[in-house]
Chain A
Amino acid sequence: MNDQVGGNQKQARFQRLCQSLRPDLLRFAFWLSRDRALAEDVVQEAMLRAWKAQDSLLDEAAAKPWFLTIIRREYARSFERKRFVTVDVDELVAREEPMLAAADEQDLAEMRAAMFKLADEYREPLMMQVLLGLSTADIARELNLSGAAVLTRLFRARKQLRVLCGEDTSLDPQE
């Protein structure tokens, strides 16, 4: 009986953890895939896998990188299942307008369009840092890169974004 109550409490706790992380994981999947429908599918599948594998999450403090790994693997699997057609970035921006729109804040809409244009190798670590709050070490582990390589990508990501957004870059350092 105690085992059952403990199990139920553990599952309820895991459910709450999933609920609290899901919004940002969905946002991350969106920035990863640049496709709302695909992001929803990936996160839903990832949550199911996480649910089945919840016993392997030993430390709740490490939940975010744990979920992130599952989502990235699920995203990679989606490529195995489906052959994607190459789409122009401007077309993508137009298609995902409901997710990108910020009617009252034009500068946010411009920033989002610029983020869409970043190469995957820059956008992904940037979103891991900005959206999920991962440390450089966590990002390096997830992307199988050195810490220095991650910092270089993050620097280039912001540098390109600032140019794309028309920021004053006169004080920005060169490469």
Chain B
Amino acid sequence: MMDCTAYRRSMMADPADPNVELREHRDGCHECTKFTDKLLSFEARLHRAARVTLPAGQPAAQPAVPLRPRAAPRAIGHRKGMLAMAASVLLAVVVAGVLWVAAPGASLAADVVTHMGGEPDSWLQTDVSVDNSELQGVLRDSHVRLAAGAGLVSYAASCAFRGHHVPHLVIQTESGPITVMVLVHESVQKPVRFDEQGYRGVIVPVAGHGSLAVLTHGPATDIKTVELIAAQVLDSITWTS
């Protein structure tokens, strides 16, 4: 049986440790529950403090690596070579176009999942809500309102995504933390389910307002539950423009 000192040491080393023994001790110890509440409040502040403002001129959407330098101009070859090159370019454009048209939802889902990889600390299970002014700032920038009954929002950021800044929220639900991305600039024809790299979610179309991505991390929540949560989140959103 774990004692209070061992519990508190473990929590201070890794407050997100999902160890069952830790949870069992916390559930049965009033003092350690009190300690945990305070520690998690401190932890939420630590996470926010770590995310320092990026320097001006270094937006998140800036190309991370330079494009490969252009090849030096070469002497133009004969006509046959030119035609072959033109055909190659045309074919590449057609192939890319077909791929894009065939799987826009899948591509969007892949980008959403990739974006999640950059913000792992947002998934913290907590009962500490994000500062209301911070949340309202994120929502206001995207002309979105969230009803009070939407749930406890523990994380809110305006994230660079496909050339736009979009609200990235984490809402604490009975099924654990879920992430919501309001994708006003991204349309999908029908709901797109995805299950990639440990993230399970759905992107649902929103008439006149692009789409909404809702996802969970880990295998605990099935896709039906995620879809149900997505519908509830959608109900609690109002667009102000």
Which residues in A have some Cβ–Cβ distance to B below 8 Å?
Answer: 1, 4-5, 8, 15-24, 26-27, 30-31, 36, 40, 47-48, 50-51, 60-61, 63-64, 98-102, 104-105, 107-108, 111-112, 115, 127, 129-133, 136, 151-152, 154-155, 158-159, 161-162, 165, 167-168, 171-174
Complexed CA–CA distance, A61 and B5 (Å): 35
Known contacts: A99-B53, A131-B50, A131-B51. The answer to whether A105 contacts B88 by CB under 8 A is no
Complexed CA–CA distance, A167 and B46 (Å): 12
Residues in chain A near residue B88, CB distance under 8 A: 1
Closest 9 CB pairs of A and B: A133-B120, A18-B64, A111-B49, A20-B118, A151-B13, A155-B13, A154-B13, A171-B35, A51-B65
**Interface SS, B side:** helix
Distance in Å: Cβ of B10 to nearest Cβ of chain A: 8
Interface size on B, residues (CB 8 A): 52
Let me know if A23 and B8 touch, CB within 8 A. no
Which residues in B have some Cβ–Cβ distance to A below 8 Å?
Answer: 4-5, 8-10, 12-14, 31, 34-35, 38, 42, 45-56, 58, 60-66, 88, 91-92, 95-96, 111, 114-115, 117-121, 123, 131, 133, 160, 197-198
**Interface SS, A side:** helix
Please give 17 more A-B residue pairs, beta carbons under 8 A apart, in addition to A18-B65, A171-B38, A174-B5. A5-B92, A5-B95, A15-B64, A19-B62, A19-B64, A30-B52, A51-B65, A98-B55, A98-B56, A99-B53, A111-B45, A131-B51, A131-B121, A162-B42, A172-B35, A173-B8, A173-B9
Known contacts: A99-B52, A101-B53. The answer to whether A19 contacts B121 by CB under 8 A is no
Known contacts: A27-B50, A48-B66. The answer to whether A21 contacts B117 by CB under 8 A is yes
Residues in chain B near residue A61, CB distance under 8 A: 197-198
